[in-house]
Amino acid sequence: MALNSTSKARVNAADIQVIGLGLSHTGTFSLSHALESLGFGLANIHSVCPKPIGWSCGKLEPPPEIFDMVLRGYKSVVDSPAAITAKDLYAAYPNAKFVLTTRSPVAWGTV
């Protein structure tokens, strides 16, 4: 099911091309290395913004400009909280490719 995007071209929009939607321990580390190897400047959200502005601080629908401010200079982003803001990221970057990594619920017991 496709989400409707209401995004408009933003002058200073970040050039995000790939968004990893998996939570930690679902292959995000491997995805990160693959994206870096392919030349996509990777924003692992924990290193870019240790205290994500508006993402995990109670702001439910951050405007695209918040994403642009944090992700400017990168071409991809993986891990949470990016993984839990899929709808907002889609609205901000509707032309990006989204990669969902998963893990068997049984395997979670081995983390």
More confident residue, 96 or 65: 96
Mean per-residue pLDDT, 29-39: 90
Which contiguous run of DSSP H or E holds residue 19? strand 18-20
> What would the pLDDT profile of 74-103 be if each residue is shown by its tens digit?
899 988 777 888 888 999 999 999 999 998
Domain boundaries of the chain, sorted by first residue:
18-102
